[in-house]
Structure formats: C-alpha cells, structure tokens
C-alpha cells in the first residue's frame, strides 16, 4: 500500500496546474484546423493511466484534476457473466488486476477473433464475484507502488455518476466475442445510454456501429469507427482497415468520426524518425464530414527522434502544424496534451504573461547533437536558449576550447583512433584510465570525431543516431564569436575545472587562457552579453574575482538538504550565485519525490540566485511525480521561487537543460 504517495503527487501537480491554468484562454480565440474549428479534445484513456492503475478511481480523479476543463474520460467496456458493464482495458482480467491471486488456477481458453487466447476472462465472473478483485497497473514498465491501494473495478455507471466527467467515451472492442458468449453489448450500451450521458461510442467492428446507429441520438452521442493496424481485417466486412480508410464515404454512413493510430498520420521509420506526414488522411476525412481522433499517445516510450523525447512537441505535430489539426487525442497522460493544446499551440513568439525561467544550455543542445559542437550550439540558439555554456578544456599547446569532459574518451572516438596509446591514469582527475585534452594539440583534437552522449543507454534510450557524430569542436574564441553574433542570447556561461592540476602538473593556466580569450573578444567592455564563470573550486572563482568583474557561479556537486548561515556567508565571499542538483530541492526515494527542502529560500534570503541542474527530456530522468513529462518537471521547479534551469537540449520546449535559476 502506498497511500502517502498521492499527497506528494497532488502537491507537486498543483504547481503545474497553476502554471497551466495561467495560460488558459490565451489561445481560445485562435482558429483551429479541426472540423468544428474548436480546440481538439483531450481523451484520458482509463483516466490518468500513465501513473495510477488505469480505470481506477485514482486515475479518473487525477485526469479530471490535471486536464483541460472539457476532458473526456475513456472507458473500455467489458461485460461480466451477469451482463454488468465494467470499465476495464481488456477482455482478460489478469493483466490489470489481482484476479490470479483471488481465483488461482481458474484461467480459461477461448477464441478471440479466431485466435486462441488464455487467461481470466470477464465473461466467467459475475460482478459480485469481482468485489474482491482490485485494479493494478497493467504496464509493467510503470510504477506498481499504487497496486496495493485496493482500487475496485468500476462499472460504467460508477464512472458517470461518481466522477461526473465533462465527457464520457465508451469503447467497445470485442462485440463479436460477447455475442459468442450470449451477452449483448448492443443492449447494454443502449441501456446505459438511457441512464447516463454517453458522448462518444467507438468500436473497430462495423456491424456493431451499424447495429446501434438508429438507436442513439446523434446530437448527444457520436459514433466513432476505430481503426486497427492497416493490414488487420475488420471482422464483419472482412476488409482490411487500410482498404476501409480509402472509403470514407462508406464510413460516414454509420459513424461521425474515425479513431486512428497516430502512425497513420505521421509514419515512423525503422530507426525512429518521422516520415513525411500524410495530411490527406485528416483533410480527406474532414472533407467527408468525419472528425479525426488520434490514438496511442503515451509519454513513457521512445518517441520519434524528431520530438527530442518531448511529448508536448509530439502533440503539437498533430494539432498545430499549419496544415491540419486532429479533432482529439487519446492519451494515458492527459496533462501533457492539455498543456500542448491550452498553453503551447498557436504560441509562436507570443509568450507574454507566461512564467519564463532563465534557460542555460548544458553543452549546447546536447540532447540532439554531440556535446559542445558547433551544431549543438547553433541549435541551442535556434531553440531559444538564454545563456550558452562552454566548459573550457585546454589542449597540449595551450588552446582553450569547449568540451563536456577533460577526458576525450567521454565525448569522442579517440579510443579508436591512432591516439589510443595516450591512455593514462591520473587519480587527481578520475578513477580509471583516460585520454586527456592536454595530451593532444588542438590540431589533433580537431581531427577527432565527436560522439553524442547517451546518459540513459542502460534503459535502451538513445539519442539521435543520425546526428550522433555530427559537428565539430570550437575554440573558446570561436564560441564567443558565435555568441556575439546571436541577437537572442542574454549571456554566456564559462565552466572551469581542474585548474590547479593543470597549472601544477601540466604547466597550463586555464584561468589565464579564459581571461585572455574574454578580453580579446571584448567582453571586458561590452554590456550586451552577461558573462558567468562557473566552477566547483572556490580558489578558481577567487582568482576570477581578483582579476575580473564577471558573475561567479559556485557549482555544489553533492546533494544538500539544508544551507547553514555560516556556509552561505562563506560562499558569498567568492560567488555571486550557486548551482545545485535537482535532488537538493526535491529529494527522491525509489524515483518518488519525498518532499521539498528549504535550500532555495535559504539561499535566496541571502541574496544568492540559485540555478538547478540537470534537466533532460528522457522520461526515466524524471521522478514519477512529474508524469514522464519534462514540461511538468520544469513547471514544478520554476513555479514560485525558481528562476533558471540548466538543460542539455535547451530548446523553447526546454529539452535537456542545465540549471534552473531559482
């Protein structure tokens, strides 16, 4: 049992909801390219099934709290042995409930659409039999921490009367199966429609929709034909869904809309890149008078690389692409399409009235390109980053350049090059071996191939393979020139580490090299761009304080839960602001946030701005509390006291940011 988790989730969610609501209405006058001209619908599959067990009371409640006001709750209707209609995702009960524990060894085998299928079927149990069967999380990659909360299986009537949703959508997936077991889905759906308002009824079976079309009021209940895979066969017509899609006039005779997998509209290649979209599907359906709903939206699976692991970006491709908009989206994470539709669609450059934290890149747009390359930097600028960062390394011949690591093995193919013999062990820098920047000249470093970082590869989540070796490294001088040419940047952040070792053991002064490069670039006299110098070493910052007037940022490497007054006063002697880890604000246990520390208000009370790192779009980088949505995470940090975020992909949608200034 994990009841206390709901309290923390709710507390964090309220931050995001406030931020989302603050933008509500900003796009209300925009003309949507939907069939009606209204905003697309958000349809919550089983409620908020991306976090809580789908179709549970908690999932439905959270969906209503976290979504747009007109959210539609989706219910997959199954029939029990005594004809009760329950909201449950499948004919089989064993994948989303604990029925195997309640009725051990009671599994059966039936034909489902001609396929032999084994398990615990709804048709073998009365609704009273299921009184002690509880809903669990059916997607095993999601948290199971809520499975012990004894969420009962709900009927359609329960969902309609207990939650009073703005819209209710019933999906009938297997009418033929229930008919084979002497149960009438048609009679049940028509009966329940007389008791509660049902706004949408969908099915992938033509015969079922044809059988009820004359018995429902089209002004109240819309019938929607659900498409399965294009090569799959629709059971009543014996045609493939792909061929039926070519006959929209026929579909219009029994349905007012279609529900299609998202890949029908934006096909994806085998290596997870978008193919050119096929807007004719949506436009042709609209021309035929059919609404178009897109399905299969989830936050916690690898998306097409074009979206940079940002689920909001994916939704915008479907609702705000300039050519068309679908009429609704079916999602396990309804907060994300709600934000996409109500906050980000039609936004353009109009961000007035929105809270905007200062965004600092982490190695440029390193979520999309190799870190600290020209392409990573130019794309970070194009994405809208505020401050561009350069962690300075130094070559054997004293040239300062931008690189994410002093160890070239971390960011290049040097280990596979002719320089592999330069491998050495330097305990002062790291445990284990490395090939270090000060062992190669700048000309030699320029010849190396950069490689993209993959910090979440242990989860088989990789970054853009087509650009994994793209770009070239820049000297600090070239980096500064690039920054000066940008009209959108507000500043640069220069990172300096290992200065003591480099000076004492390699006779290379990285601090002097940085100061000299900034002076030659005119940063001593210009005021257009702020300069921030960042280091984990106080002596480095003291040296810059003695010789320059730049802003000094102290990077606190360890997680902290408190900030003593004496420690803060010591920091203020050599730094103007600090960078802390995300866990120093929202500590976690087992990927759940356990509370909020006082670190930020304590530092800010002492007039120390706070930056927080590191933000990435990959869903495994976020606590469960943030719903596998980087926008929710950013909102939770930037709402209230936090002012700045540090990100690795630093686009306008905040892909992989370094630190949020709080």
87, β-bridge pairs: 77
CA-angle at 382, arms to 519 and 485, nearest 5°: 30
DSSP H helical segments within 471-564, as ranges? 476-485, 499-505, 510-520, 538-547
Of the pLDDT bands very low, low, confident and very high (cuts 50, 70, 90), residue 651 is very low
The pLDDT value recorded for residue 638 is 82
Which residues have a Cβ under 8 Å from the Cβ of 512 and sit 6 or more positions away?
none
Mean pLDDT of the chain, nearest integer = 92
Distance of CA 38 to the CA centre of its chain: 25
Strands in 247-403 per DSSP E: 257-261, 291-297, 328-331, 358-361, 387-394, 400-402
| 381 pLDDT higher than 90 | yes
Angle 57-66/156-163 helices, nearest 10 degrees? Answer: 40
The pLDDT value recorded for residue 645 is 52
For the ranges 5-19, 33-47, 448-462, 524-538, the lowest mean pLDDT is seen at 5-19
Pick from 469, 456, 413: nearest CA to 617: 456
CA distance 261 to 240: 15
Other Cβ atoms closer than 10 A to 28: 10
Residue 286 DSSP symbol: H
Interval 436-458 mean pLDDT: 97
Residue 373 DSSP symbol: B
Per-residue pLDDT of 385-418, as tens digits, reads: 999 999 999 999 999 999 999 999 999 999 999 9
The pLDDT value recorded for residue 7 is 41
Backbone phi, psi, residue 618, to 5°: -55, 130
Which residue carries 């933000």 as its tokens?
Answer: 615
Query: Is 486:494 a contact under the CB 8 Å cutoff?
Result: no
Percent of the chain past pLDDT 90, that is, above it, reads 87
> Got the DSSP string for 31-46?
---SSSSSPPEEEEET
Query: Is 497:535 a contact under the CB 8 Å cutoff?
Result: yes
Pick from 455, 452, 376, 391: nearest CA to 614: 455
Of the pLDDT bands very low, low, confident and very high (cuts 50, 70, 90), residue 355 is low
Three-state secondary structure call for residue 18:
helix
Q: Supply 564's token pair.
A: 């003593």
Query: Is 354:27 a contact under the CB 8 Å cutoff?
Result: no
The pLDDT value recorded for residue 654 is 37
| 474 pLDDT higher than 80 | yes
CA-angle at 593, arms to 592 and 597, nearest 5°: 160
DSSP H helical segments within 109-232, as ranges? 156-163, 175-180, 185-195, 206-212
| 25 pLDDT higher than 70 | no
| 456 pLDDT higher than 60 | yes
248, β-bridge pairs: none
The pLDDT value recorded for residue 349 is 54
CA-angle at 80, arms to 78 and 82, nearest 5°: 140
Q: Supply 541's token pair.
A: 């910052």
Pick from 626, 619, 141, 47: nearest CA to 334: 47
Three-state secondary structure call for residue 312:
helix
The pLDDT value recorded for residue 109 is 97
The pLDDT value recorded for residue 527 is 75
Percent of the chain past pLDDT 70, that is, above it, reads 91
Interval 264-277 mean pLDDT: 93
Q: Which helix (H) or strand (E) holds 570?
A: helix 565-572
Pick from 148, 134, 142, 135: nearest CA to 2: 148
Q: Supply 213's token pair.
A: 């079309």
| 650 pLDDT higher than 60 | no
For the ranges 11-20, 48-57, 539-548, the lowest mean pLDDT is seen at 11-20
Per-residue pLDDT of 476-494, as tens digits, reads: 999 999 999 999 999 999 9
Pick from 21, 20, 37: nearest CA to 29: 37
Q: Supply 26's token pair.
A: 């900003």
Per-residue pLDDT of 114-145, as tens digits, reads: 999 999 999 999 999 999 999 999 999 999 99
Ordered by where they begin, the domains of the chain are 39-344 (3.20.20.190), 359-406+455-647 (3.20.20.190)
Of the pLDDT bands very low, low, confident and very high (cuts 50, 70, 90), residue 149 is very high
Of the pLDDT bands very low, low, confident and very high (cuts 50, 70, 90), residue 74 is very high
The pLDDT value recorded for residue 525 is 81
| 498 pLDDT higher than 70 | yes
| 19 pLDDT higher than 60 | no
Angle 630-638/3-22 helices, nearest 10 degrees? Answer: 80
Instruction: Measure the CA dihedral 557/558/559/563, to 10°.
Output: -90
Of the pLDDT bands very low, low, confident and very high (cuts 50, 70, 90), residue 526 is confident
CA distance 439 to 454: 25
The pLDDT value recorded for residue 23 is 46
Query: Is 293:326 a contact under the CB 8 Å cutoff?
Result: yes
The pLDDT value recorded for residue 575 is 97
What is the biggest distance separating any 2 CA atoms in the chain, rounded to whole angstroms? Answer: 87
Three-state secondary structure call for residue 233:
strand
Query: Is 599:558 a contact under the CB 8 Å cutoff?
Result: no
Interval 635-662 mean pLDDT: 52
| 307 pLDDT higher than 90 | yes
Per-residue pLDDT of 83-95, as tens digits, reads: 999 999 999 999 9
CA distance 215 to 220: 12
The pLDDT value recorded for residue 350 is 56
The pLDDT value recorded for residue 642 is 47
Other Cβ atoms closer than 10 A to 18: 13
């Amino acid at each position: 049992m994990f009841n206390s988790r709901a309290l923390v989730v709710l507390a964090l969610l309220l931050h995001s909801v406030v931020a989302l609501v603050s933008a509500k209405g900003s796009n209300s006058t925009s003309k949507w390219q939907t069939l009606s001209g209204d905003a697309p619908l958000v349809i919550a599959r089983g409620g908020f099934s991306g976090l809580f067990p789908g179709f549970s009371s908690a999932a439905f409640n959270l969906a209503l709290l976290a979504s747009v006001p007109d959210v539609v709750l989706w219910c997959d209707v199954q029939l029990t042995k005594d004809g009760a209609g329950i909201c449950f995702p499948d004919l089989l009960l064993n994948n989303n409930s604990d029925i195997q524990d309640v009725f051990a060894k009671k599994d059966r085998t039936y034909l489902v659409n001609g396929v032999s299928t084994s398990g615990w079927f709804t048709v073998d149990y009365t609704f009273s039999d299921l009184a002690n069967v509880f809903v669990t999380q059916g997607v095993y990659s999601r948290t199971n921490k809520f499975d012990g909360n004894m969420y009962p299986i709900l009927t359609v009537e329960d969902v309609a009367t207990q939650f009073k949703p703005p819209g209710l959508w019933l999906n009938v997936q297997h009418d033929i199966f229930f008919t084979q077991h002497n149960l009438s889905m048609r009679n049940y759906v028509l009966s329940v429609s007389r008791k509660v308002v049902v706004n949408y009824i969908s099915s992938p079976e033509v015969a079922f929709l044809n059988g009820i079309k004359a018995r429902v009021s089209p002004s109240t209940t819309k019938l929607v034909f659900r498409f399965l895979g294009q090569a799959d066969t629709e059971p009543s017509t014996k045609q493939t869904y792909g061929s039926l899609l070519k006959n929209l006039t026929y579909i219009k005779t029994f349905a007012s809309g279609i529900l299609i997998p998202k890949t029908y509209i934006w096909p994806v290649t085998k290596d997870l890149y978008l193919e050119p979209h096929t807007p004719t599907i949506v436009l042709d359906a609209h021309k035929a008078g059919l609404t178009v709903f897109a399905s299969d939206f989830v936050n916690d699976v690898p998306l097409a690389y074009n979206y940079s692991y940002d689920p909001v970006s994916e939704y915008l491709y479907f609702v705000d692409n300039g050519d068309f908009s679908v009429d609704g989206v079916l999602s396990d994470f309804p907060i994300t399409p709600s934000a996409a539709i109500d906050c980000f669609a039609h936004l353009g450059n109009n961000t007035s009235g929105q809270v905007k934290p200062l965004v600092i890149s982490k190695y440029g747009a390193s979520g999309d390109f190799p870190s600290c390359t020209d392409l990573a930097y130019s794309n970070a600028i194009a994405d809208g980053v505020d401050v561009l960062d350069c962690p300075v390394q130094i070559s054997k011949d004293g040239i300062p350049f931008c690189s994410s690591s002093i160890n070239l093995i971390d960011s290049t193919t040097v280990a596979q090059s002719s320089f592999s013999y330069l491998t050495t062990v330097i305990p002062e820098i790291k445990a284990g071996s490395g090939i270090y920047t000060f062992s190669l000249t700048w000309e030699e470093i320029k010849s190396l191939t950069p490689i993209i970082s993959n910090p979440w590869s242990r989860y088989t989540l990789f970054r853009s393979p087509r650009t994994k070796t793209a770009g070239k490294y820049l000297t600090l001088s070239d980096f500064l020139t690039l920054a000066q040419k940008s009209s959108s940047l507000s500043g640069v952040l220069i990172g300096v580490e290992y200065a003591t070792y480099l000076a004492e053991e390699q006779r290379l002064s990285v601090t002097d090299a940085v100061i000299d490069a900034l002076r030659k670039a005119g940063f001593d006299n210009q005021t257009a761009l702020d300069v921030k110098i960042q280091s984990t070493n106080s002596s480095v910052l003291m040296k810059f304080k003695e010789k320059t007037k730049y802003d000094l940022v102290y990077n606190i490497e360890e997680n902290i839960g408190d900030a003593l007054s004496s420690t803060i006063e010591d920091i203020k002697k050599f730094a103007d602001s600090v960078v802390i880890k995300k866990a120093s604000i929202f500590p976690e246990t087992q990927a759940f946030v356990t509370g909020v520390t006082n670190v930020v208000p304590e530092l800010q009370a002492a007039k120390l701005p706070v930056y927080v790192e590191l933000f990435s779009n990959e869903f495994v980088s976020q606590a469960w509390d943030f719903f596998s949505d980087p926008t929710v995470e950013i909102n939770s940090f930037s709402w209230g006291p936090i002012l700045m975020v540090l990100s690795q992909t630093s686009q306008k949608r905040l892909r992989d940011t370094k630190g949020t200034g709080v």
